[in-house]
């Protein structure tokens, strides 16, 4: 077995490795290199050192986008996970039509971000029009619009993960807790939640990184209006890249900073929730 694994490894892994190298590894390295360059097209770059990184520090919109994104991420991670878990709890109780509900909740996740952003823009603007306001009136409206949108999209997906986690809890554990006289809130806090910790790790990881990297929905819903005040980081990077001649490198440098941030947060978060997981 070991032998044949070794032998066939290149044949099976090579295509994937090749695709990974072409599609991810090379562009990634090129991207890092380009962040130290001034360029118009990616094949025609001039090395300028850390100049691009210095320009970031002078860019107010970047720091605004950073805290706006942070606030958005915290809000959406909490809301999505709490609501998804609640829905998952409800839909594992064996009520009538469970499958229908699960499907319905999952559906929004199948719609692309741009379409979703556009549809919600129409919906929310339709409601706000009653008050003679629009979504881009101020960044607060945009913020809550985005939170609502991302919750609507992601809750269903996280729900599925939680449902499988909850269903994997051995029935005898709950039963034993009941026999010992635990109240349902005690069962929730002391049995269910510790037992679905692996799901929580996955879901917080997914929601955290998804919210931090959110782009399509932001673009379609508010496009950063007003005055780039509802701009999340990814959109800020995009706008830096295309908004001003000679700032392609700065956009690239921001993207590298962005990558480091996302990677850092994701690693810390996984470490933290991992320690809370229990062995069955």
Residues that bind another protein (CB under 8 A): 8, 11, 15, 40-44, 121, 125, 129, 132-138, 223, 225-228, 242-248
Task: Output the smallest distance, CB 9 to another protein, in A.
Answer: 12
Task: Output the smallest distance, CB 121 to another protein, in A.
Answer: 8
Task: Output the smallest distance, CB 210 to another protein, in A.
Answer: 24
* Residue 200 to residues 84, 108, 209, 247, Cα–Cα distance (Å): 11, 21, 14, 40
Task: Sort strands 45-47 and 37-39 into parallel, antiparallel or unpaired.
Answer: antiparallel
Q: Which is nearer to another protein, 60 or 275 (CB)?
A: 60
Q: Which is nearer to another protein, 55 or 178 (CB)?
A: 55
Cβ neighbours around 187 below 10 Å, total: 16
Q: Which is nearer to another protein, 132 or 279 (CB)?
A: 132
Half-sphere exposure of 258 (CA within 13 A, CB side): 28
Q: Which is nearer to another protein, 23 or 243 (CB)?
A: 243
Task: Output the smallest distance, CB 37 to another protein, in A.
Answer: 13
Task: Output the smallest distance, CB 129 to another protein, in A.
Answer: 7
| 174 Cβ contact partners less than 8 Å away, ≥ 6 residues apart | 187, 191, 192
Task: Output the smallest distance, CB 219 to another protein, in A.
Answer: 10
- The token duo for 131 is 């008050």
Q: Which is nearer to another protein, 212 or 238 (CB)?
A: 238
Q: Which is nearer to another protein, 216 or 225 (CB)?
A: 225
Where would I find the H helices in the chain? 2-20, 26-34, 51-57, 60-90, 98-106, 113-128, 139-167, 171-179, 184-187, 193-195, 197-212, 216-221, 233-243, 248-276
Which residues, listed in sequence order, are joined to residue 37 by a DSSP beta bridge? 47
Q: What is the largest CA-CA distance in the chain?
A: 72
């Amino acid at each position: 077995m070991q032998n044949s694994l070794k032998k066939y490894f290149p044949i099976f892994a090579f295509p994937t490795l090749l695709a990974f190298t072409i599609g991810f590894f090379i562009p990634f390295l090129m991207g890092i290199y380009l962040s130290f360059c001034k360029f118009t097209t990616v094949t025609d770059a001039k090395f300028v050192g850390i100049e691009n990184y210095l320009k970031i520090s002078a860019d107010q919109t970047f720091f605004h986008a950073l805290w706006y994104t942070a606030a958005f991420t915290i809000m959406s991670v909490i809301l999505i996970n709490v609501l998804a878990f609640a829905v998952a709890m409800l839909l594992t109780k064996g009520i009538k039509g469970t499958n229908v509900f699960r499907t319905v909740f999952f559906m929004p996740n199948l719609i692309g971000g741009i379409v979703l952003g556009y549809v919600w823009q129409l919906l929310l603007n339709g409601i706000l029009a009653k008050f003679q306001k629009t979504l881009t009136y101020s960044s607060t409206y945009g913020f809550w619009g985005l939170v609502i949108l991302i919750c609507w999209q992601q809750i269903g997906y996280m729900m599925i993960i939680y449902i499988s986690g909850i269903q994997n809890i051995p029935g005898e554990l709950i039963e034993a807790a009941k026999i010992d006289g635990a109240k349902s809130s005690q069962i929730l806090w002391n049995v269910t939640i510790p037992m679905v910790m692996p799901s929580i790790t996955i879901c917080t990881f997914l929601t955290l990184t998804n919210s931090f990297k959110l782009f399509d929905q932001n673009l379609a819903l508010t496009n950063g209006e007003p005055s780039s005040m509802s701009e999340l980081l990814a959109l800020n990077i995009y706008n830096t890249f295309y908004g001003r001649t000679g700032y392609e490198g700065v956009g690239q440098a921001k993207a590298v900073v962005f990558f480091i941030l996302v990677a850092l947060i994701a690693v810390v978060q996984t470490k933290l929730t991992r320690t809370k997981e229990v062995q069955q």
